[in-house]
Amino acid sequence: MFNLLLVVVGGGIGAGIRHLTNMGALRLVGPNYPWGTMAINIVGSLAMGLFIAILARRGGSNEVRLFVATGIFGGFTTFSAFSLDFATLWERGATLPAFGYALASVIGAIIALFLGLWLARSLP
C-alpha cells in the first residue's frame, strides 16, 4: 500500500508539472503546434535516462524508483516510460522487437484514439 501511495503522490506532482509546462508553452508560442507536449516528451525522456542511470550506478531503493520514475515521470509523461522500454529492448540486443514495440505503440495508439473518437461520435 505504501508503494501505491508513493506512485500516486509522485504522479500528482508530475501531472501538475505537465500542466504548468503546457500552459507555459501555450503562452510562449501559442496553440498552433503541440510544442508543450513535444517538449514534455523529450525532457521527460532525458530526465528518465539520467535518473535510471544514476539510480543503477548508486543502487537507489525501489521506493525512490517508484516515486520518481513511475510516479513523477509517469505523471509528467508516459513517453519517458515508453522510451525506457525501447532502450531496454535495444540494449538487450533485441533490435527487431524494439522497433516492433515502437511502431506498434505509436501506430496502435493513434489508431485506438481514432477508434475511440469514432465510437463516441457514433453513440446516440
Residue 78 has pLDDT above 90, yes or no: no
Average pLDDT, the chain: 93
State the Cα–Cα distance between residues 77 and 63, nearest whole angstrom. Answer: 19
Q: Which has the closest alpha carbon to 5: 50, 70, 85, 55?
A: 70
pLDDT at 60 (0 to 100): 87
Would 18 be classed as within a structural domain? yes
> Which pTM was predicted?
0.79
> Number of folded domains in the chain?
1
34-47 residue pLDDT tens: 899 899 999 999 99
In terms of residue numbers, what domain contains 67? 2-77
Would 109 be classed as within a structural domain? no
Q: Which residue has the higher pLDDT, 94 or 78?
A: 94
